Chains A and B, each alone.
Chain A
Amino acid sequence: MSEAGPVSTRNPMVSGAAAAMRDASVPANAEGAIYDLGYAPHEGSRLGRPAAIRAMIIDGSRRVLGLRRKAWAKVLPWGLIAAAVVPAAWVVALSFVVAGFSLEDAGPFADPAEFFEMIGMLAMLFVALAGPTLLIPDRQHGVLAIYASRPVRAGDYLVARAITLAGLTSLFILIPHTIRYLGISALYVDGLWAGLLEHGKDLPAILGTTAAYVLGYGAPAFLVALFVRRVPIATGVYGLAMFLSGALIEAMPRATELLVFKVMAPLALFWNPLSVRDWLFDQEPEQLALDRVGFEPWVGAIAIAGITLVTAVIAHQRYRREF
C-alpha cells in the first residue's frame, strides 16, 4: 500500500457536524450548513478468503431459501420444507395424543430406512430447485464478473456453493429424522434416555445414508446447472434425468442380458442412494438397478463418489475460465 502511495493521499471522512462541534472558532449562533460526509477509507482488517467463503455460504443459503427476497421466492423452498417436516411432526404428535397409535404402525415413519424413501423423494425435489438456484443466476446476470474481481478463486466459489447445497439438503433430510427420532425415543417404554440410546444405534446409518442422498442427488443437479442457462429449465432437465435414468436403466436388465447394460446400472441416478441405504441399514436389497445386474449395494456408493468427482472436475474446468 505504501509503495503506490495512494493511501497517503486519502481524505479521511470529514464528519462536518462533528468537526464543527470540535471547532471552537464556530460561533454558537452560526447558521446551519450542509456538510458533505465525503468518503471514509477502510482502516480495519481484511479477513481474506475464508471470510469470503463464509459470506458466499450465507448468501447461497439465503438465495435458496428466498430469505431477504420477494415473497414468491420463498414459496417453493418453504413449501418443500413444510412437506418434509410437517408430516413427521404431525405423526409424532398423533402418537403422543391418540391412544393405541404408535409410530411403528405409521407406514414410512415406522423405521428410519423406510422413512428415507419418503424424505428422499422430497430431498430430490429440493435439490432440483436448490442446485440450479445456486449456480445459474450468477452466470445469467453477469454476477460472476463481480466475484472474479474479488480476492476469491473459482475453487472458493464452487466449494462455497457445494457446502451450501450439502448443508441445506442435509438439514432438509435430518430435521424430519430428528423429529422422528426424538418422538420415537420419548415414547419408548423404558423412558426417553433408554429410547435415545436404543434408537441411536441407527444414527451412523442415517448420517451415512443422508450423505449418499446429498451427494447422489446434489452432484447431478450441479452437473446440469453447469450447462443450462435458466433455473426452471435446469430443474426440469434434472428431474427428467433422475427419473428417466432410474426408469430406463432399471428396465434394461429385464429386457436383455447384454454386458453394456450391466455397466450402465450405476448410472441409475435416482436409485443409487437407496442402494447405499440398503447397504448401511443392512437390509435385503429391494431389487433396484444394481441388484438386478448382480452388483452389491455398496457399488451405489462408488457410483455416487465417481459422479461427484466427475462433476467437481467439470465444474472447476468451467469456472476456472471465469475467475
Chain B
Amino acid sequence: MTTPLIELNGLTQAYGSLVALKDLTATIPPSSIGLVGANGAGKSTLIKVLLGILKPAAGSASVLGLSVTDATIAMRERVGYMPERGGLPPDQTAADFMIYAAELAGIPRKAARQRASDVLTLVGLHEERFRHLGDFSTGMLQRALLAQAIVHDPDLVLLDEPLAGLDPEGRDQMLRLIGRLRGFGIYTLVSSHVLTDIESTCDWIVMVEGGRIIRNSTLESLTSGKTVDVEVLDHTETIDALLRERGATVLRRGHHLAVTTSSGDPYDLIHRVLAETGGGLRLLKASVRTLEDAYFEEGRGAS
C-alpha cells in the first residue's frame, strides 16, 4: 500500500484562545493537491503545521510518512516550501541564493551549484541569475521563490498562494511551471482561494472552511455530476412530470430542464421519456460543475 502523502489525525491548532484548525482528520494520497478556502480559513496555518513550524495543540500530522513533530528534520529534507510573501534577500543574486538554499538542505556545494543553475533555467530565470533579487519584478520573484522550493529536489512542495500579485501572463506561466512539477516526480500542495487556478493544476482537493476540512476528495468526484441540461421544444410539463415520476430531480426554467438522477443513466431516462411524449429536443448536454460551484455548494452545506 502506498504511504499517504499527508495524513492528519484529529489535528488541532490554536493561537491562544483562537482555534485555527479544528480536529482535522484526512488521508491524502500522492497527488497534486489543491488546498482551497477563503482568506482566514486556516490554509496557511495548516501548511505551517505540515512544515513543523507550528506545533499542533492536539492530534498529529505526517508528511511522506514522517511525523511533523517527531521527524521534523528528516521530513524537511524531502519537502520544499514557497511562502506567500517575502522569502528572498534583496541583496543577493538569484544564483547565489539558490546555491545557498540548496546547501541549507544539505546538498553538497558542487551539486548545489549545478542544481541552482538547472532550476533557474527551469523557471526561466537563467538569463537573470546574476541579477540581485531586489531588482526582480513580482513575477520574477515568484518564479525565484518556486526555484528555491525545488532546488534541493524535494518529493513534495508546499506552495502558499503562489499566484498572489501576478498579472494574467505571470499567472499563466506560474501555473504551467507548477503543472510541470508532477512530471518531475514532485508532488505539489497549492494553497489558493482562486479556484480556477486550482482546477487547472490539481487532481485532489482539500476544502477548508473555518478551520475544518469540509471536503477531501478527487477533483473529478467534486466536479462530475449526474446532471444533464435539457431544452425541449414542447410538452415541457408532461416531460417534467414523467421524469419526476421515475425518480429524477428536475429543475425547470421555461423549456429548460436540469435533470439529475441518483442512480442509472440520466441520458437513457431522458431518451425514453422524450420518445413516450414525442417531445422535440433542442439541447442535451452534461451540466458542467466547476470547482467554484462545488465549493459554494459544499460551503453552504458546511455552514
Bound together:
yes
- B83, closest chain A residue (CB): A145
Name the residue in A6, A46, A49 with the highest tally of chain B Cβ atoms < 10 Å from its Cβ. A6
B residues 68-104 touching A (CB-CB < 8 Å): 73-74, 76-81, 83, 85-93, 96, 100-101, 103-104
Contact residues in A for B155 (Cβ distance below 8 Å): 1, 4, 6-7
- A45, closest chain B residue (CB): B108
**Contact assessment for B184 and A10 in the assembled complex, using a CB-CB cutoff below 8 Å:** yes
**Contact assessment for A56 and B106 in the assembled complex, using a CB-CB cutoff below 8 Å:** no
In whole Å, how far is A263's beta carbon from the nearest beta carbon of chain B? 36
1/0 contact trace for A34-54 toward B, CB 8 Å? 000111111011111101100
A residues 1-45 touching B (CB-CB < 8 Å): 1, 3-11, 13, 37-42, 44-45
Q: Could you tell me the distance between the alpha carbons of A6 and B51 in the complex, rounded to whole angstroms?
A: 19
**Contact assessment for A7 and B185 in the assembled complex, using a CB-CB cutoff below 8 Å:** yes
Contact residues in A for B51 (Cβ distance below 8 Å): 148-149
Q: Could you tell me the distance between the alpha carbons of A323 and B76 in the complex, rounded to whole angstroms?
A: 11
Q: Does A111 contact B (CB under 8 A)?
A: no
Q: Could you tell me the distance between the alpha carbons of A112 and B186 in the complex, rounded to whole angstroms?
A: 59
Contact residues in B for A46 (Cβ distance below 8 Å): 77, 105-107
Q: How large is the interface on B (under 10, 10 to 19, 20 to 34, 35 or more residues)?
A: 35 or more
In whole Å, how far is B140's beta carbon from the nearest beta carbon of chain A? 16
**Contact assessment for B105 and A52 in the assembled complex, using a CB-CB cutoff below 8 Å:** yes
Q: How large is the interface on A (under 10, 10 to 19, 20 to 34, 35 or more residues)?
A: 35 or more
**Contact assessment for A147 and B86 in the assembled complex, using a CB-CB cutoff below 8 Å:** no
Q: Does B121 contact A (CB under 8 A)?
A: yes
In whole Å, how far is B90's beta carbon from the nearest beta carbon of chain A? 6
Contact residues in B for A45 (Cβ distance below 8 Å): 108
**Contact assessment for A70 and B132 in the assembled complex, using a CB-CB cutoff below 8 Å:** yes
In whole Å, how far is B48's beta carbon from the nearest beta carbon of chain A? 8
Asked if A52 meets B184 with Cβ closer than 8 Å, knowing A137-B89, A145-B87, A146-B81, the reply is no
Q: Which of A150-158, A209-217, A273-281 contacts B (4 or more CB under 8 A)?
A: A150-158
Q: Does B53 contact A (CB under 8 A)?
A: yes
Contact residues in B for A37 (Cβ distance below 8 Å): 118, 121
Q: Could you tell me the distance between the alpha carbons of A73 and B111 in the complex, rounded to whole angstroms?
A: 29
Q: Could you tell me the distance between the alpha carbons of A37 and B183 in the complex, rounded to whole angstroms?
A: 13
A residues 159-196 touching B (CB-CB < 8 Å): none
Q: Could you tell me the distance between the alpha carbons of A48 and B74 in the complex, rounded to whole angstroms?
A: 9
Asked if A4 meets B89 with Cβ closer than 8 Å, knowing A70-B132, A146-B148, the reply is no
Q: Could you tell me the distance between the alpha carbons of A147 and B5 in the complex, rounded to whole angstroms?
A: 22
**Contact assessment for B100 and A55 in the assembled complex, using a CB-CB cutoff below 8 Å:** yes
Q: B111 contacts which of A10, A42, A52, A59 (Cβ < 8 Å)?
A: A42
Q: Could you tell me the distance between the alpha carbons of A52 and B149 in the complex, rounded to whole angstroms?
A: 16
- B48, closest chain A residue (CB): A148
Q: Does B187 contact A (CB under 8 A)?
A: yes
Q: Could you tell me the distance between the alpha carbons of A142 and B81 in the complex, rounded to whole angstroms?
A: 13
Q: Which residues of A contact B (CB under 8 A)?
A: 1, 3-11, 13, 37-42, 44-49, 51-52, 55-56, 59, 63, 68-70, 73, 137-138, 141-143, 145-153, 322-323
